[in-house]
């Protein structure tokens, strides 16, 4: 089989992989925090779903990057995907054997255990994708993957909303987690079919802009970004954590990113509590909100790619980050489904712009010849931001109240956007 034929075959498997990963994203990943809220989880218990994985990534990602260097990435992607996605199978059976109180602590523990192979998967997949898809094919493959991801995630989210409203609790969530486990298994199967042959293609050092993030979880209006993780495998044996790089303007730049990630994740644990326990929205209504958010996020990403030649990455970063307060601000005012859906529409659009600006500006500021160490610092800032935000948001809710905390988080996002304007 020729190299061209192998590349085409790999592309087909990547299309099927992302389709089934979208099924996982639209089911288990979308609804795990909502399920916890139905169990009357506190904001802190919901925060553990993101806090625990952030701690794991903080300590595992750098040694994982060194460990993966020189290994067969196609094989490592498949093996780590099996380890990571076994957790989604565990979610199906948890309600059968554990009390509600025990589930509220076991489910975050499952996400922590999943995050060890998940971190390896995120890094290995990011690196493998760059090796499996040559630069001349990358735009077409990424575009088709993003379109398939939008379709599968949206349709799965809407279908799961119907399923959740039709079946009794907790059987409905077990069915949804079963759909997610099926999607996870089939995605892993197609990952196992990818083969890397010959020398890696030319290194272009640009973001892949692929919206699937295997190994990383997505909650409401925060999508865990996988940008640059492949560079952690390319250190050439050199130290990845170099704090001397924080001297000067790059230090202020990374500080602004850290504060943005903190502000981004502070309200995340509060959203399910508001939607389920305060507003008492049905799962079907929440599924529509998830679908609207994801659709507008993808549309904004496509538009952003076309605007890239008319606006600088910094301009897009400032516009997206400053307007990013819209989702928690509108949810603070929400008392019915319609304003929630409007918040989801606008929230997806603003995050699509902010996320693209964050990625492109980061790649613009990171020196091309020293990307592994700089991207390691960004990964450190990201995980510390998730960790800090996951603790700060619930603490704020305990001090000020739910809606008041969301309003303060909106102000925090505005302040973080302004700091990105100043230091980004």
Same domain, 423 and 340: yes
Identify the pLDDT of residue 197. Answer: 75
Is 222 strand, coil or helix? strand
Q: What SS3 class is residue 218?
A: strand
Domain count, the chain: 2
* 261 in the same domain as 142: no
Residue 338 falls inside a structural domain: yes
Residue 137 lies in a domain: yes
Residues 261 and 410 in one domain: yes
- Pairwise CA distance, residues 383 & 316, whole Å: 23
Q: Please report the pLDDT score of residue 307 as a whole number.
A: 66
Same domain, 81 and 145: yes
Query: What integer pLDDT is reported at residue 172 of this predicted model?
Result: 95
167 and 252 housed in the same domain? no
Q: Is residue 271 located within the same domain as residue 164?
A: no
| Boundary (domain end) residue, out of 139, 166, 198 | 198
What integer pLDDT is reported at residue 51 of this predicted model?
Answer: 87
Residue carrying structure tokens 């196992």: 192
What the block records as the tokens of 158 is 């809407």
Pairing relationship of beta strands 222-223 and 218-219 according to DSSP bridges: antiparallel
What 3-state class would DSSP assign to 223?
A: strand
- Burial degree of 82 (CB within 10 A; 0-12, 13-18, 19+): middle
Q: Kindly state whether residue 216 falls inside one of the protein's structural domains.
A: no
Number of H helices, E strands in the chain: 15, 2
- Residues 179, 43, single domain; the answer is yes
Q: Are residues 15 and 128 in the same domain?
A: yes
Examine residue 234 and state whether it is found in any structural domain, yes or no.
no
**Domain contains 46:** yes
pLDDT, position 376: 84
Q: Which residues constitute the domain of residue 22? A: 1-198
Whether pTM > 0.75 for this model: the answer is yes
Rg (CA), the chain: 20
Say what the pLDDT of residue 111 is: 92
SS3 readout for 4-63: HHHHHHHHHHHHHHHHHHHHHHHHHHHHHHHHHHHCCCCHHHHHHHHHHHHHHHHHHHHH
> Is residue 110 located within the same domain as residue 29?
yes
Kindly report the CATH number assigned to the domain that includes residue 157: 1.20.1250.20
Structural contact between residues 397 and 405, judged by C-beta atoms closer than 8 angstroms: yes
Res 226: pLDDT: 59
Whether residues 265 and 141 share a domain: the answer is no
How far apart are the C-alpha atoms of 239 and 251, rounded to whole Å? Answer: 18
**Which residue is associated with the tokens 């009390």?**
99
pLDDT of residue 356: 81
* DSSP state string for 130-148: HHHS-HHHHHHHHHHHHHH
Write out the two tokens for 200. Answer: 């890696």
The Cα 249–Cα 251 span in angstroms is 5
The pLDDT of residue 223: 53
Q: Both tokens of residue 94?
A: 């948890």
Residue with tokens 């690196």: 127
Q: 185 and 272, same structural domain?
A: no
The set of residues, in sequence order, having a beta carbon less than 8 Å from that of 351 and lying 6+ positions away, is: 221, 222, 223, 293, 297, 300, 320, 324, 327
Whether residues 345 and 254 fall in one domain: yes
pLDDT, mean of each 10-residue run, the chain (424 residues): 81 93 93 95 92 87 80 88 93 92 94 91 84 82 85 93 94 96 95 80 58 60 58 65 81 94 94 94 94 88 72 83 91 92 92 84 81 83 92 94 95 93 86
3-state secondary structure of 219: strand
The answer to whether residue 223 sits within a structural domain is no
Rounded Cα distance between 290 and 189, Å, is: 27
Structural domain ending residue among the three candidates 164, 198, 232: 198
At a CB cut-off of 8 Å and minimum separation 6, what does 269 contact?
Answer: 33, 43, 44, 46, 47, 49, 50, 390, 393, 394
Establish if 85 belongs to a structural domain.
Answer: yes
> What span, in angstroms and rounded, lies between the C-alpha atoms of 174 and 180?
10
- How high is the pLDDT of residue 248? 82
The Cα 215–Cα 147 span in angstroms is 20
Structural domain includes residue 218: no
Q: Is 362 helix (H, G, I), strand (E, B) or coil?
A: helix
Q: Is the backbone peptide bond immediately before 314 cis, with ω within 30 degrees of 0?
A: no
């Amino acid at each position: 089989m020729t190299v061209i034929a192998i590349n085409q075959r790999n592309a087909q498997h990547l299309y099927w992989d992302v389709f089934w990963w979208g099924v996982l994203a639209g089911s288990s990943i979308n609804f795990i925090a909502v399920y916890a809220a139905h169990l009357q989880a506190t904001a802190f218990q919901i925060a553990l779903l993101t806090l625990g994985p952030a701690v794991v990534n903080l300590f595992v990602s750098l040694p994982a990057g060194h460990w993966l260097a020189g290994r067969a990435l196609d094989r490592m992607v498949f093996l780590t995907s099996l380890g990571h996605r076994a957790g989604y199978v565990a979610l199906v059976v948890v309600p059968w054997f554990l009390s509600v109180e025990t589930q509220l602590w076991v489910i975050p523990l499952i996400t922590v255990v999943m995050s060890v192979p998940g971190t390896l998967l995120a890094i290995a997949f990011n690196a493998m994708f760059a090796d499996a898809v040559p630069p001349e094919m990358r735009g077409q493959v990424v575009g088709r993957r993003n379109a398939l991801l939008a379709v599968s995630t949206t349709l799965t989210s809407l279908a799961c909303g119907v399923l959740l409203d039709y079946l009794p609790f907790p059987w409905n969530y077990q069915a949804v987690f079963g759909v997610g486990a099926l999607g996870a298994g089939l995605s892993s199967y197609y990952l196992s079919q990818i083969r890397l042959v010959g020398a890696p293609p030319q290194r272009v050092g640009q973001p892949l802009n692929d919206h699937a993030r295997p190994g990383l979880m997505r909650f409401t209006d925060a999508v865990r970004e996988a940008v640059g993780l492949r560079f952690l495998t390319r250190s050439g044996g050199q130290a990845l954590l170099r704090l001397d790089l924080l001297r000067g303007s790059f230090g202020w730049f990374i500080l602004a990113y850290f504060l943005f990630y903190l502000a981004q994740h502070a309200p995340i644990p509060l959203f399910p509590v508001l939607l389920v326990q305060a507003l008492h929205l049905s799962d079907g209504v929440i599924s529509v909100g998830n679908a609207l958010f994801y659709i507008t996020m993808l549309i904004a990403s496509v538009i952003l790619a076309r605007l890239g030649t008319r606006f600088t990455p910094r301009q897009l970063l400032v516009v997206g980050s400053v307007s990013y307060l819209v989702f928690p601000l509108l949810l603070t005012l929400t008392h019915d489904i319609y304003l929630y859906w409007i918040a989801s529409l606008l929230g997806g659009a603003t995050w699509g712009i902010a996320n693209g600006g964050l990625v492109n500006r980061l790649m613009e500021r990171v020196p091309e010849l020293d990307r592994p160490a700089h991207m390691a610092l960004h990964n450190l800032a990201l995980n510390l931001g998730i960790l800090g935000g996951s603790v700060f948001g619930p603490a704020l809710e305990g001090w000020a109240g739910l809606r008041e905390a969301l309003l303060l988080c909106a102000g925090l996002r505005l302040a973080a956007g302004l700091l990105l304007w100043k230091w980004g």
